[in-house]
Amino acid sequence: MKQSHAAAALALCAALTLSPHLAAAAAAAFPTKPVRLIVPYPPGGGNDTIARVIGGRLSEIWSQQMIIDNRPGANGIVACEITAAAAPDGYTLLVANVATNAINGSLYKKLPYEPIKSYAPVSLLGSTANFLVVPAASPATSVASLVAMAKKQPGKTTYGSNGIGSSQHLAGVMFNTAFGIDALHIPYKGTGPAIVALVANQISMSFANSLAVVPHIQAGRLRALGVTSLKRSNALPEVPAIAESSPGFSATSWWGIVAPARTPKAITETISAAIRQGLDSPQVKEQLHRQGVEPRPMTPAEFLTFMEEELARWSKVVKASGATAD
């Protein structure tokens, strides 16, 4: 029975790949069953939050359930490998991000997936800056006072991130270089666990995306000292850009949706159009803007170009930082 199911699935994939007419028909009816959206990190972080925002809206648009499937592990590699091996029919999607699909390609000598070639691009979802945050009980009240504290107690300042080689990790590397300090990197399995540790005062600071930290900042559990964009964030305009203290300092995050490679173009374009509709929703726009995320829907072709540019850009940053995960 299992073999017959596998054979049928392979036959369907082959038909969709080879026949434009069948692919168009499948796209017109898509989706006819629940769609799985794989998230490379645990609940509580930016990847999970944006997945649930767009997933909820797509469920309404399609009248089909979007199943959010958190598959953390190995800096996002576990989720990427699962998605790359899934049937190319549009029913398994991945929340791609700056770490999994731009940074990992340079961070690891060998990956079980190709950051771009293993996937069919669908759409960018949005981008945001990372905030430099400290626990509410921290004596640091500004970038200058944090740097002074780190220099006064060398080797005792720590910063958490959502994994080795993530944009959060590399933002810390850039911060160390820019201000001449030696804060120790503490990697976690996702932004959520890192923020839990920060709120509990187990680490000194973190560079985390706005989706993960703005609610904690507004609730008084964390204090924002700076933002990693070149200009201040609309979400917290009173927080200075780190670039105001170190000109040119910039480290931003982004999220998008990809499908397994060989997913028919007609289906990726159908999903992309639904994502654009979802991101154009006033409720979704307001929700994302409030947390410092700029909605940025793209066509599959536009998103492919974007990912290629990001892969090249972060390759230079990783090389300059000397970071490696091997």
pLDDT tens-digit readout, 10-61:
544 554 554 566 666 667 789 999 999 999 999 988 899 999 999 999 999 9
- Residue 66: pLDDT above 80? yes
pLDDT score recorded for residue 13:
54
pLDDT band at 4 (very low <50, low <70, confident <90, very high): very low
User: Looking at per-residue confidence, does 316 or 147 come out higher?
Assistant: 147
List all residues 6 or more positions away from 93 whose beta carbon is below 8 Å from its beta carbon: 35, 36, 37, 38, 83, 122, 257, 258, 259, 271
The helix/strand/coil state of 236 is coil
Q: Pick 2-128+253-321's CATH classification: 2.40.50.140, 3.40.190.150, 3.40.50.2020, 3.90.1150.10.
A: 3.40.190.150
pLDDT band at 262 (very low <50, low <70, confident <90, very high): very high
Where in the sequence of the chain do the CATH 3.40.190.150 domains occur? 2-128+253-321
pLDDT score recorded for residue 319:
85
Question: Whole-angstrom Cα distance, residue 12 to residue 270?
Answer: 18
Question: Whole-angstrom Cα distance, residue 166 to residue 75?
Answer: 8
Mean pLDDT of the chain: 90
Q: Which two tokens stand for residue 268?
A: 């990726």
User: Looking at per-residue confidence, does 222 or 25 come out higher?
Assistant: 222
pLDDT score recorded for residue 11:
45
pLDDT score recorded for residue 245:
95
- Residue 166: pLDDT above 90? no
DSSP letter string, 116-184? TTTEEEEEEEEEEEEEEEEETT-S--SHHHHHHHHHHSTTT-EEEESSTTSHHHHHHHHHHHHHT--PE
Beta bridge partners of 257: 95, 123
Q: Rounded to 5 degrees, what are φ and ψ at 289?
A: -60, -40
pLDDT score recorded for residue 23:
63
Q: Rounded to 5 degrees, what are φ and ψ at 241?
A: -75, 140
- Residue 217: pLDDT above 80? yes
What is the pTM for the complete model shown? 0.79
pLDDT score recorded for residue 17:
52
- Residue 279: pLDDT above 80? yes
User: Looking at per-residue confidence, does 226 or 128 come out higher?
Assistant: 226
Where in the sequence of the chain do the CATH 3.40.190.10 domains occur? 129-244
- Residue 265: pLDDT above 90? yes
pLDDT score recorded for residue 292:
83
Q: What is the CATH number of domain 129-244?
A: 3.40.190.10
Maximum average pLDDT range among 88-97, 104-113, 205-214: 88-97
Over residues 144-162, mean pLDDT = 94
Cβ of 13: how many Cβ atoms within 10 Å? 17
pLDDT tens-digit readout, 281-316:
999 999 998 888 899 999 999 999 999 999 998 898
pLDDT band at 7 (very low <50, low <70, confident <90, very high): very low
pLDDT tens-digit readout, 72-99:
988 899 999 999 999 999 999 999 999 9
pLDDT score recorded for residue 3:
47
- Single-letter amino acid code for the residue at 84: A
Query: How many residues belong to the chain?
Result: 326
pLDDT score recorded for residue 20:
62
User: Looking at per-residue confidence, does 175 or 17 come out higher?
Assistant: 175
